[in-house]
């Protein structure tokens, strides 16, 4: 199980220190929740923030774009050092073209599925996908409870995606919910509040990995 801490729950007065600490603590990638105040209510990080933090770490950077018209911003996040760009179908006029664009700029592509969005939306672009981000909560904030109906979606994805694709669950992950997601076939999780409310990040990351075995 890959564990991808979300910087949304980090202490924003010391993001750099938090990033270095997460790398030392065994994080597999860093999840950046980019929100534009329109696709979701909150506003968070822009590409400059990510570019500055790129200099501090070699970890994979996953940029989760919770923004309208994500295609408009892809080049900036690619130049900032993103490794994976994740878009929401609801925010893209043409999902296939958005995924294609991510691939054409040399990055890995991900599509995020909101809790009410079925897997069918991916039917004609599965072969172009490196990751599906199953939202365990409605996007917009950390600290919400996992929506159990998403377990079925995780299992469905296993049968339609190529074996190399990452099935990552974002939202509501803790030492218990990670077990259920792993059983259904998830091989990656994003974690915000569970890791950051623990003063020992290494212990929290290790627990998520251990409980998914």
- 172 conformational bin, left if phi > 0, alpha if psi -120 to 50, beta if neither: left
Min dist CB 165 to ligand DX5, Å, is 19
Measured CA angle at 42 (ends 36, 44), to 5 deg: 65
User: Out of 33, 36, 62, 130, which one is annotated catalytic?
Assistant: 33
Cα–Cα distance list, 80 to 39, 85, 199, 204, 211 (Å): 22, 12, 29, 29, 34
Residue 6 CB, shortest distance to Zn ion, in Å, is 6
Q: What are the structure tokens assigned to 31, written together?
A: 């999840």
Q: Are 41 and 15 in contact (CB under 8 A)?
A: no
Q: Using the minimum distance from each CB to Zn ion, give the nearer residue, 95 or 139.
A: 139
From the list Zn ion, ligand DX5, none, partner contacted by residue 143 (C-beta under 5 to 8 A by kind): ligand DX5
Query: 119 or 196: whose CB is closer to ligand DX5?
Result: 196
The catalytically annotated residue of 83, 100, 170, 200 is 170
- Stretch touching Zn ion by CB under 5 A, among 13-21, 62-70, 122-130, 200-208: 62-70
Q: Which helix (H) or strand (E) holds 99?
A: helix 95-104
Residues lying near ligand DX5 in the complex (CB under 6 A) are found at: 6, 8-9, 31, 33, 64, 137, 139-140, 142-144, 170-173, 190-194
Stretch that binds Zn ion, among 16-24, 25-33, 99-107, 123-131 (CB under 5 A): 25-33
Q: Which residues pair with 167 in a beta bridge?
A: 132
Which is nearer to Zn ion, 45 or 127 (by Cβ)? 45
- 130 tagged catalytic: no
Decide the pairing of beta strands 60-66 and 29-35: parallel
Query: Which of the listed partners (Zn ion, ligand DX5, none) does 8 bind, with a CB threshold of 5 to 8 Å by partner kind?
Result: ligand DX5
Residue 142, binding choice from ligand DX5, Zn ion, none, Cβ under 5 to 8 Å by partner class:
ligand DX5
Q: What is each CA distance from 39 to 91, 126, 159, 185, in whole angstroms?
A: 7, 24, 30, 29
Coil, strand or helix: which one is 162? Answer: coil
Among 47, 53, 54, 64, binds Zn ion (CB under 5 A): 64
33 is catalytic: yes
Burial of 36-59, coded b for 16+ CB within 10 Å and e otherwise, reads beebbeeebbebebbeebbeebeb
Rounded to a whole number of angstroms, the minimum distance from the CB of residue 190 to Zn ion is 5
Question: Which positions lie near Zn ion, rule CB under 5 A?
Answer: 33, 64, 170
Which residues participate in catalysis according to the annotation? 33, 170
């Amino acid at each position: 199980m890959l564990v991808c801490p979300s910087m949304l729950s980090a202490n924003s007065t010391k993001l750099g220190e938090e990033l270095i600490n997460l790398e030392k603590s065994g994080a597999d990638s860093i999840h950046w929740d980019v929100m534009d105040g329109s696709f979701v209510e909150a506003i968070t990080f822009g590409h400059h923030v990510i570019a500055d933090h790129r200099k501090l770490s070699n970890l994979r950077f996953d940029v989760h774009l919770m923004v309208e018209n994500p295609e408009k911003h892809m080049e900036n996040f690619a130049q900032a050092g993103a490794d994976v760009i994740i878009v929401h179908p609801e925010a893209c006029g043409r999902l296939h073209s958005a995924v294609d664009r991510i691939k054409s700029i040399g990055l890995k592509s991900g599509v995020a599925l909101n809790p009410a969005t079925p897997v069918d939306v991916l039917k004609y672009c599965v072969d172009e996908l490196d990751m599906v981000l199953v939202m365990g909560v409605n996007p917009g904030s950390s600290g919400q409870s996992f929506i159990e109906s998403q377990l079925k979606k995780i299992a469905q994805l296993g049968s339609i995606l190529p074996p190399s694709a990452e099935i990552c669950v974002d939202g509501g992950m803790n030492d218990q919910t990670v077990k259920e997601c792993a059983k259904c076939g998830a091989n990656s999780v994003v974690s915000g509040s569970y890791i950051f409310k623990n003063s020992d990040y290494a212990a929290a990351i290790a627990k998520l990995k251990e409980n998914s075995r």
